[in-house]
Amino acid sequence: MGSNEGKHNLIIVSNRLPLSIKRVDGTYESSISSGGLVTALSGLTKSTQFRWLGWPGIEVKSNKDREEVSRTLNEHDATPIFLDSGLAHEHYNMFANRILWPILHYQSGVVFDDGPWQAYRRVNELFAAAIAEAAETGTLIWVHDYHLMLLPELLRNRLYEKNKHCAIGFSLHTPFPAGDFWRNLPVRKHLLEGLLSSDLIGFHTDEYKQNFQDTCAKIPNQIRYKNRLVCVGKFIVGIDPQKFAHTLQNPDVQDRIRSLEERYKDVKVIVGVDRLDHIKGLTQKLKGFDSFLEDYPELRDKIILIQVAVPSREDVKEYQELETELSTLAGKINGKYATPDGTPLLYMHRSVPFTELTALYSVADVCLLTSTRDGMNLVSFEFVACQEKRQGVLVLSEFAGAASFMREGSISFHPANTTEMSEALYAALKLDPDERRRKYEYLRDFVNTHTSAKWGQTFIEKLSQRCRQPGKAC
């Protein structure tokens, strides 16, 4: 994966691999996985070489089929860790996405269930066994995200048994909530202990890092646990802006941009791209947009909101219910405001190809992101990377991790306040050109400085120091 400037022997571990495998008509098909974690790690591949281990997203039973899936993934330097479908379902859908994910994002009403928790432990154990086998002394092991919070501890034990000395890093791609909320999870102590076997733990913002440290109730930046020093840091994740710049040069993308510009020449385009997930505040977005159309009737036929809701975690009941709610809301809004000349809302519940996504970002005048909580939100970075020409406006929820870095370059609002959202949209559409340019330049500089490559290299460098000098103060 990429040229090896990285001198390190590096293993990356995440639940989601860069390719997701599906079985269609008796054959295995792969597609690029969506989500910020894959985007950030894929952005690292140009500068850093690594092996990527994770779950292929599907149960594969026979040895012959496992070989086929492994071959496909190996072409992308990824190695599958196979899981039975029942176990994967309990781990991924029932614990990681129905219990842990909502708690990490401050959602109330989560019901703890011991069965899924046991599956979560089991999957973390299976991962630990596979990685301890793949690692050698000196390997840097970088574990990602909430699906694998027990892994650092289980892995450290396995490595110890095998007499392999490796440094273990962990990065969380979600918020880490305030201690009082985290307490809602009865197994929180086990998860913390799991994490604290890492040498280095990374969060996206100061707030998440602080919440974690407050929960561990220890001194800034370092925690002593079982007589080992654990370093904690903020590492700002980003994208690969050049990938977008190159894609925008592609003649087919240029054609597509021209055709979209022609299609929408009489209206301002507002774009939204989100996985279909509660934390993205899509219900709030549609309600806020409804308010906006109500508040500014003179703009109804002068704007369009193009909302891409990428299907996600479709086996989880809450995600299915959200999909039904959103399509009903979208239908209501269009029923209310559509005229024979058009509709103010274009709601797409599907995944769009990367080239189409790039063209869409590029023709938009405004990007509206309404997360109720969000680890970072890389869509905000991608919009900026595609706006060199148009210099559009980012309207960003104050609850996205990105808002703690982008406030000065964006228009910020509270996603539960429809009036605030409506006013923020209006302000974005009417923004003075000089102010728009100033804001855009601020964002562009931030996105170009905080790339995924820089994020990865900074983390790996720090982890490598921990490997060389585990006892040194952080």
Is the distance from CB of 6 to CB of 460 less than 8 angstroms? yes
Report the C-alpha gap between 168 and 141 in whole angstroms: 5
Closest separation in Å from C-beta 42 to ligand G6P: 12
What does 16 bind: ligand ADP, ligand G6P, none (CB cut-off 5 to 8 Å by kind)?
ligand G6P
Measured from the Cβ of residue 109, the count of other Cβ atoms closer than 10 Å reads 7
Window 37-66: residues binding ligand G6P (CB under 6 A): 37
Q: Which of 372, 368, 432, 430 shows the shortest CA–CA distance to 394? A: 368
Interface with ligand G6P in residues 124-153 (CB under 6 A):
145
Among 18, 36, 54, 152, binds ligand ADP (CB under 6 A): 36
Between 166 and 185, how does the x/- string for binding to ligand G6P read (CB under 6 A)?
-------xx-----------
- d(Cα 198, Cα 237) in Å, to the nearest integer? 19
Nearer to ligand G6P, 199 or 374 (CB): 374
Asked whether position 374 contacts ligand G6P by CB under 6 A, the answer is: no
Q: Out of ligand ADP, ligand G6P, none, which partner does residue 454 contact, by CB within 5 to 8 A per kind?
A: none
- What is d(CA 261, CA 255) in angstroms, rounded to the nearest whole number? 10
Q: CB of 278: closest distance to ligand ADP in angstroms?
A: 11
Question: Which of residues 159 and 310 has its CB atom nearest to ligand G6P in the complex?
Answer: 310
Classify strands 345-348 and 222-225 as parallel, antiparallel or unpaired: unpaired
Binds ligand G6P (CB under 6 A): choice among 205, 312, 418, 452: 312
Of 55, 113, 127, the residue nearest 85 (C-alpha): 55
Strand-pairing partners, residue 140, are 10, 167
**Is residue 310 close enough to count as binding ligand ADP by CB under 6 A?**
yes
Chain centroid offset of residue 430 CA:
31
Q: Does 91 bind ligand G6P (CB under 6 A)?
A: no
Q: Which residue from 51, 98, 105, 275 is in contact with ligand ADP, where contact means CB under 6 A?
A: 275
Interface with ligand ADP, residue 157, by CB under 6 A? no
Query: Which is nearest to 96 in space by CA: 187, 33, 202, 23?
Result: 187
Q: Which stretch binds ligand G6P (CB under 6 A): 32-40, 283-291, 408-416, 451-459?
A: 32-40
User: Measured from the CB atom, is 153 or 274 closer to ligand G6P?
Assistant: 274
Asked if 14 touches ligand ADP (CB under 6 A), the answer is: no
- Cβ at position 321, least distance to ligand G6P in Å: 17
Nearest alpha-carbon partner for 198 in 126, 272, 142, 134 = 142
Task: Name the one range near ligand ADP by CB under 6 A: 27-35, 65-73, 112-120, 129-137.
Answer: 27-35
Minimum CB distance to ligand G6P smaller for 145 or for 290: 145
Nearest to 439 by CA among 409, 394, 411: 409
**Sole window of 33-41, 129-137, 198-206, 212-220 interacting with ligand G6P (rule: CB under 6 A):** 33-41
Using Cβ positions, the residue closest to ligand ADP within the complex turns out to be 36
Of 41 and 69, which CB lies nearer to ligand G6P in the complex structure? 41
Tokens of 469: 């000098």
| Close Cβ partners of 49 (under 8 Å, ≥ 6 residues apart) | 1, 2, 3, 4, 6, 10
Task: Kindly tell me which residue out of 100, 151, 376, 453 binds ligand ADP, with binding defined by CB under 6 A.
Answer: 376
| Helix axes 317-337 and 282-295, enclosed angle (nearest 10) | 10
According to CB under 6 A, which one of 145, 240, 382, 423 is a site residue for ligand ADP? 382
Query: What CA–CA distance (Å, rounded) separates 280 from 269?
Result: 20
Q: Which does 145 bind (CB under 5 to 8 A by kind): ligand G6P, ligand ADP, none?
A: ligand G6P
Secondary structure (3-state) at 392: coil
Per partner kind, with CB cut-offs from 5 to 8 A, the member of ligand ADP, ligand G6P, none near residue 39 is ligand ADP
- Per-residue CA distances from 55 to 19, 92, 236, 364 (Å): 10, 10, 26, 36
Q: Which does 313 bind (CB under 5 to 8 A by kind): ligand ADP, ligand G6P, none?
A: ligand G6P
Backbone phi, then psi, for 467, in 5-degree steps?
Answer: -70, -40
With vertex at residue 285, the alpha carbon angle to CA 434 and CA 211, rounded to the nearest 5 degrees, is 85
Q: Quick one: what does residue 377 bind among ligand ADP, ligand G6P, none, with the CB cut-off 5 to 8 Å set by partner type?
A: ligand ADP
Dihedral sign computed on CA atoms, order 81, 86, 92, 95: negative
- 153 within 8 A of 193, measured Cβ to Cβ: yes
CB-wise, 58 or 299, nearer to ligand G6P?
A: 58
Pick from 6, 18, 36, 80 the residue near ligand G6P by CB under 6 A: 36
Q: Note the residues at the interface with ligand G6P (CB under 6 A).
A: 16, 35-37, 145, 173-174, 312-313, 375
Contacting residues toward ligand ADP, per CB under 6 A: 32, 34-36, 39, 273, 275, 310, 351-352, 357, 376-379, 382
